[in-house]
Every structure is written in C-alpha cells, then in structure tokens.
Amino acid sequence: MMRERIQLFLLASCAWISIAITLAIAVALLQETVSFFREVSAAQFLLDTEWTPLFWEKHYGIWPLVCGTVITTVISLVVAIPVGTTIALFLAEWSPRSLRQIIKPILEILSGIPTIVFGYFSVTIATPLLRIIFPSLPGFNALSAGVVMGIMMVPLMATLVEDALSVVPQSFREASYALGASRLTTMLRVTLPAAAGGVVAACILALSRALGETMIVTIAAGQQPRFSLNPLQAVETLTAFIAQVVMGDTPYGSIEHRAVFVVGCLLFLGTFTLNVGSMWIRERFSSTR
Amino acid sequence: MGQALKKEGVHEIVSVADLNLWYGSHQALRSISLSAMTGEVLALIGPSGCGKSSFLRTLNRMNDLIPIVRVEGRVIVMGQDIYHDGVELAELRRRVGLVFQRSNPFPKSIYDNIAYGPRIHGERRRSELDGIVEQSLRRADLWEEVKDRLSASALGLSGGQQQRLCIARALAVRPTILLMDEPASALDPRSTAKIEELIGMLRGEYTIVIVTHNMQQAARVSDRTAFFCDGSLIETGVTSELFTNPRNAQTQDYITGRFG
C-alpha cells in the first residue's frame, strides 16, 4: 500500500510540475506584457504600422512582425503540405516495399538536419537559385526563408500524413477496387478523405511548427520589419525579433526587452489556439466516423 | 443482352477451365473447372482454407491486389478471357460485383456510398444519381429504412443494414454477376435471414456466386452447389441432389458434419 502511494505521488508530482512550469511561463509572459502596455498604448500596438523598438525613434506597431510571420509561414506551408502529402500518398499507397525502404531513411535524415544548417542553406544556395526566377531578389528575403522552412517541414508532414493513411482500413480500398476504381481514384476519393482528420491535424501541426520556427528566419529572412506582404523583400518574423533582442545587448527591464515578452505572448496565444483547434478538429472528425 | 441469354435457358456466363492458383509457392487452387449459368445462384462450400474464396476472387481479378499471386488457366466471363492482356479491369469489376464478408461501407453518407460506383464510372448528373441510389437501395430492400436519412453517415447503420448497403452499392454500377464472400457470416440470425431473402429476390436477375460455410444457407439459397476441399473441386451438382445424395464420400462426410 505504502509503496503504491509513493509511486502515485511521484507520478502525480511529475504531471503537476509540467503544469506548474507552463503556468509559470504564462504568468511571466503576462506580467511583462502588462508592464509593457503601461508604457505603450494598445492603440499604438495595434494601429501603428512600424516596429522600431531598437531605434532612436521608437514605434511599437506589431503588424510588420505579424506580416513577416504570415508570409514566411504561408510560403512554407505551400511547399510542405502538397509535397509532404504527395510523398505520404506515394509511400503508403503506391511504392513497392523496396523503394519505401530507401525513401523513409532519407526523410528521417532530412528531419535530423539542424535548423541552423537549413538557415545557412537558404542564404547560400536557395536564394541564388531563386534569383534565376526573380533576378532582383535581395540576399535576405522572405521567399527563400519560407521555401527552405517548407523543405524542412516536408518530413514532418509526410510522416504524419502517412500515419493517418496507414490507419485507414484495407477494406475501404478493397471495396473501391471491387467497384472498378483505379488506384488513383481510390487514393483520392476514398483513402485520403477517410484520413482527412489526420491530414488536417498534420497541417495544423506544421502551421504551428512554422509559426515557432526561429533559426531559419533569423538568419535568412533579413530582420527588417516591414508592413507588407511582398515575399521578395527582407522581413522580420515575431520569432526572429525575439532572437535578435535576446542575443543583442538590450538592457534587462528596458521597454525594448519587455517588447520581447509581448511578442512571446502573442506567439504563445497563436500556437495555443492552433493546438486547441487541431484537437477540436480531430474530435469532430472522429465523431463522424 | 441479359434478357436474350435468359431465354436460351442454360448458358454458361462464367466458365473456368483448369484453373491453378498459387500464393508464392503455396498452391491454393488445383485444376478447377467450374461453370456458372446465367441467372442461377451457385454456392461454393467447403472447409476453411479450401480455396473457395480464392476461386471467387479470380472471377473479378481481385486477387491481382496480392502481389505474390500467380494464376494459370482459362477464366471466361461473359465470353471474355479475363486473364488475357488487354482486359479492361474497371469494366470487368463493374460487371462482376463483389460483396465482402465483413460489411465495409465507406466513411461517407449513405447516398455517397451508393453513388460512389456510378460516379467513378463517369455519371455526374444529379437526377440520374438520385434515381440510381433509390433503385439500388430498393433492390437491396433498404430504401424504406433509410430514405429519410440518405445524408447520414453509413457507419451509423446496424451491421445487417451496412451489409445490405454494401449489396446496394455493388448493384449501383449495374453488374451482371454478383460475387458474395460469406456475406452473412458476421451477422446475427435475423440479419442473415434478411440477406438470404434478398438473395432470393435477386436470383434470376443477376447471376450470383456465393461462398458460404453455412451448409443450411447454401441449401436454402442456391440452385447448384460446388464443394471444394484442399484447393480441389470435389463435386458439383444441383443443390438438392448434392445435399441429399452426394456422389463423393468426402462430400458426404462434409455435409453430414464429420469434418470441416
């Protein structure tokens, strides 16, 4: 009895510690956010179109950072979702086992590459290649960072979608073939829709990953907050701003430093909403089954 | 065409000669020669693993899905050697429907389940699809039960209803032959009775080949019965004769319950 109680206590405290840490982070973020808004009005934060906390003339309009994050995220998803899903479909429905045994390890290697390498790759290889299509592309730009971020997320997307496809019962495919459907028709009309919940959840996870990705955009996107959605110029994302300030020599407790927490708070809210959303979607899809 | 054939009376719509089938190195069917007549119900009986399902699935080439399968012999379905190169698989499987042992409706609405087949074969017109859906569900004796909830998920139906839905789905592409692989073995007695009744209603209009390991079922629903054992065809005959007066000792042992 005693032993069981101790075990239960240990397990419960582990669970509580993780909850406590999450709460502590949320409280710290909120505290700094509140003191930030004592000095900067919410109106300026939401209506100003410039973000220049590190300059002499300070502006605290959040939209340029949001724009930077939106552009790079959208570009990365445009790359990762179709490519990742296609690879997953190929692996799960089409490829012979021998080919699968070659492709899977390659994907795993790709997902093991440190993001700093992807960032470097974006500046030294992706940008010069993209210049073939867009000759006026600056050295640091949202397009290249987004594309490379998308390539980085392909293995994640492929793995998650393949998992979703692999739980689709074989009997659905057989029923479709027995009605005279081809492999492609079966894949697009039966297997993929049956896995829709998992595919949507995978997309949301990729989105959340893209929002939080820091290293690639810090290195390759240019660190220039800009109120524009043009992907062919330098931008700064929410995460890149945090990295810039925290690694710089901004004094602790200053308003610039507090700005980091506000941005962090915003990111936290974003990913929190996405996670709740993905949970909701998964539940909805599973209840219609 | 079906009408003309029926008038001729006995006509072999399926004719299999010297069929051998291997899964890798294991031979599952040995030199099977068996025919099905237009409009009849042919039952395939035999102990588990005797090859009756393998035989059934050669008739619409569903065995093709298993990479290690090898088939030798002549399988003529509606005048065409279906293991010949240039065979249009989609058209073959449209004309030779298959109902599986476990009901397997798609996770779609009742309507979309039935309309799936016609849609993949190119039918787009809503009014036409509506007609096919109603007609197929009526034929499968399910229309009255589901007509008010066609857009509800097919997975909300009971097991017996799901199996009748699968039959309706197979009928929706207007097949000539219907293959049934133990269609009632996963159902309760009442749903089973319903499926058997349905087979009785479909008899004549479709040629039905049904695998069953329930001998009473074979006796109730079929015109002729073929007894398989260990991959070989032991005996074929008119159902009533085969069950009352089997010629082969092995058949005798099986139908009297001495093995199997």
Say which residues have a Cβ less than 8 Å from residue A132's Cβ, sequence separation at least 6: none
Closest chain B CA to residue A173: B106
Query: Domain for residue B216, yes or no?
Result: yes
Max Cα distance, chain B (Å): 56
Chain B: residue nearest A197 by CA?
Answer: B107
pLDDT at A289: 46
In chain B, whose CA is at the least distance from the CA of A193? B107
Q: Is residue B71 in some structural domain?
A: yes
Within a 13 Å sphere around the CA of B216, how many CA atoms are in the beta-carbon half?
Answer: 5
For chain B, 260 residues long, the average pLDDT of each consecutive 10-residue run is: 45 93 94 94 93 95 90 93 89 95 94 96 94 95 94 94 96 96 90 92 94 91 94 94 91 81
| Closest Cβ opposite residue B117 in set A171, A174, A179 | A179
Whether residue B104 is contained in a domain is answered as yes
Of the candidates B194, B210, B206, B203, the one whose C-alpha atom is nearest the C-alpha of residue B144 is B194
| B120/A181 touch (CB, cutoff 8 Å), yes or no | yes
Facing residue for B104 by CB, picked from A172, A182, A193: A172
Structure tokens at B257: 């319950």
| Distance between CA atoms of residues A186 and B203, nearest Å | 30
Which chain A residues have a beta carbon less than 8 Å from that of B106?
172, 175-176, 190, 194
CATH number at residue B250: 3.40.50.300
User: If you average pLDDT over residues A154-182, what whole number do you get?
Assistant: 93
- B200's CB contacts (< 8 A; 6+ apart) are B221
Q: What's the rounded Cα separation, in Å, for the pair A122 and A142?
A: 10
Return the pLDDT at B259. 67
Which residues in A lie closer than 8 A to residue B171 (C-beta atoms)?
A: none
Residue at B260 is within a domain? no
ipTM of the shown complex? 0.90
How many Cβ atoms are within 10 Å of A4's Cβ, its own excluded?
8
- Report CA Rg, chain A: 23
What strands, in cross-sheet order, belong to the sheet with B96-99?
A: B96-99, B177-181, B207-211, B41-45, B224-229, B232-238
CB pairs under 8 A between A and B: 66
Q: Is B142 helix (H, G, I), strand (E, B) or coil?
A: coil
Domain count across chain B: 1
Check if the beta carbon of residue B100 is closer than 8 Å to that of residue B166: yes
The per-residue pLDDT for range A25-50, each reduced to its tens digit, is 989 899 999 999 998 888 888 888 88
Q: If residue B28 lies in a helix (H) or strand (E), which one and from where to where?
A: strand B26-37
Tell me the pLDDT tens digit for each residue of A217-235.
Answer: 999 998 889 898 989 999 9
* Tokens found for residue A258: 């507090």
- Quick one: pLDDT at residue B260? 54
In CATH, what number does A63-288 get? 1.10.3720.10
CA distance B204 to chain A (A): 21
What pTM did the predictor assign?
Answer: 0.82
Beta pairing, strands B69-77 & B80-81: antiparallel
Domain that holds residue B139: 3-255
User: A185 to chain B: which residues are within 8 Å by CB?
Assistant: 120
How far separated are the first and last CA of chain A, in Å rounded?
A: 42
Helix, strand or coil for residue A195? coil
Q: Give residue A17's pLDDT.
A: 94
Best CA proximity match to A238, nearest among A78, A75, A70: A70
